[in-house]
Chain A
Amino acid sequence: MVTSKSGGKGNPQIGRTAAKIAAYVLTVACAVVFVFPFLWMLSTSLKTQQEIYSFPPTLFPHKVYWNNYFLAVTKMPFLRYTWNTVAISVLCVVGQVLSSAMVAYSVSKIKWKGSKVLFPVIISTMMIPMQVTMIPLYIIYNKLGLVGTIVPLTLPAFFGGAYYIFLMRQFFKTIPDALFEAAKIDGARETMIFFRILLPLSRPVLASVAIFTFLASWSDFLGPLLYLNKQEQYTLSLGLQAFMQEHYVEWGPLMAASAIFTVPIVILFFFAQSYFIEGITVTGMKG
């Protein structure tokens, strides 16, 4: 009986080990390909202009040239851009977490007729291409004199995003109703249940939504491109693009600026990995 395991034709044990090794080698090869652009970014950001334009390209700089980082933050108002980006992102996070949680609570835990109609409508709005609303919204903001302010970039976050409502609803549904019933018998009102029971229990999903909202507004390009027209208002995305237009061939400072722009996201990922993974999994799998 024991021998039959390794018996059979073509010795499956060896075949399995070979397959495992092949899979491992392929994984490592893919990983190298995926890491390389990052290394290239860092490598270029630490090279002199002369070495950047030499052939063959070198992965490790002959002499580490930190000056690119200095140039990146002084040739453009980097701090200003960072502050603008942080301000917009934080406002979006606060608005999105609060409003999406409210709406998700309404369509998952409050027993009312509307929730059955409302939820599918919310989900189906995900299919509307943003180009359809882009022009009228621009015209409205233009009429209200809000083009050139951060209002168009932050206000919509306070009215709940379909993706985030969906993500939160999935989580809220897993919280047993009994917890709410008990509170209701004690006479708690919906608002109190929402703030005192639901939100504290939902920290993981709140974190996921906060992270994704932050990521989206930190990286957003089209929004700032449409609505921010003075340089002192630029976000990092827009500022970096403008910098590229002016200093097209200065890859050292450009890569240094890109690296600085990317680092906060990488740090965020390392501190909050599980929220990233959980969040993506829920929204990606249960359409």
Chain B
Amino acid sequence: MKRNGSKSSTQSARGQTGAGLLFALPWIIGFLAFGLYPICMSFYYSMTDFNIFQAPKWVGLANYTELLSDEKFYKSLWNTIYMVILATPIDLLIGLLLAVLLNQKIRGLPVFRTIFYLPSIVPIVASSLLWLWILNPQYGLLNGLLKTLGVYQPNWLMDPRFTKPSLVIMGVWGVGNIMIIFLASLQDVPRSYYEAAEIDGANAVQRFFHITLPSISPVIFFQLVMGIIGCFQYFTQAYLLIGGSTGGGLNGTSGGAENSMLFYALYLFHNAFGYFKMGKASAMAWILFVIVLVVTAVLFKTQDKWVSYGDQ
């Protein structure tokens, strides 16, 4: 083939196909083994009664109908939707606010950027422990501050009304990643747009809403989609904070105060590895899959209305 050189183009094209396939092989094998096959099996398991120790037994749609009359299922779904609606916009807004602040050609930018970014890479177990301590009702930093100010001190993780706000506060501490992305996109907005607007007499607020926001709307959209998909899978923080605030064991199946932190992925985990109801948990996984697909599709439908991709 090497010797033939340009003589036979079909042969070299075949060589390219071979090489392309060869280099893509890791992903193809990985996808079949860790993606497609498990996905199909998950669908099959969702139709079975399966506890891992005995062979799966076919039950048709029984797991799905069981879920439809399972109060905890609805509770976990509601908790998750609550988080999606509360946490995602707050994270995006604060991420954007910090990015806008840092985009003012501020002195000491690298220092501030580091300060805002670092919390987002703290290992999740370490940050959860830290917040468990900060939110400690009696001795925590936050209630210490509130007490000094003479303000009402919530029981945070022990009070079902405050568990989700606690998680949101903790999440806001980790918006550094989103901030970096927004900051980069802000810096990409051509200066000439602003100069033109300024000549037309637009003030800072008008410039922000008519130039900045439309210019970075694709980035906001992408972050919104990823944020929502991530939020539907909210698990680790809830698992750790419940374990820490109730002292439950490793295989605990607690959902926190009045199940207020029983998120969808957590209840799924309880079903699979706490109660060993693999079939029911698989059914939950498929329902989650469908929800994520539908939500993403709906978001993509709305994007014509508010996302502008410019002309490049």
Residues on A lying within 8 angstroms of B by beta carbon are 19-20, 23-24, 26-27, 30-31, 34-38, 40-41, 44, 52-53, 55-57, 99, 102-103, 105-107, 110-115, 118, 121-122, 125, 127-140, 142, 156, 158-160, 165, 187, 189-190, 194, 215, 218-219, 221-222, 225-226, 236-238, 240-242, 244-245, 248, 251, 254-255, 258-259, 261-262, 265-266, 269, 273, 276-277, 280-281, 284-287
Contacts and interface: CB of A to CB of B under 8 A. Distances in A.
Given A280-B177, A285-B181, A132 B133 contact: no
Nearest to B182: A284
Mostly, the A contact residues are: helix
B104 A23 contact: yes
Contacts of A240: 125-126, 129
Nearest to B2: A187
B52 A287 contact: no
A286 B52 CA distance: 42
Contacts, number: 276
A23 to B, nearest CB: 5
A197 B52 CA distance: 49
- Which size bracket describes the interface of B in this complex? 35 or more
A128 B278 contact: no
Nearest to B174: A34
Contacts of B33: 159
B34 A156 contact: yes
A131 B125 contact: no
A121 B31 CA distance: 10
Interface centre among B19, B134, B184, B273 (most CB of A within 10 A): B19
B115 A31 contact: yes
Given A110-B19, A136-B37, A237 B125 contact: yes
Interface in B1-52: 2, 13, 16-17, 19-31, 33-35, 37-39, 41-42, 45, 52
Nearest to A26: B101
B202 interface: no
A106 B37 contact: no
Interface string B220-231: 011101100100
| 6 smallest beta-carbon distances between A and B, as pairs | A159-B30, A112-B20, A284-B181, A287-B222, A106-B23, A136-B38
B20 A106 contact: yes
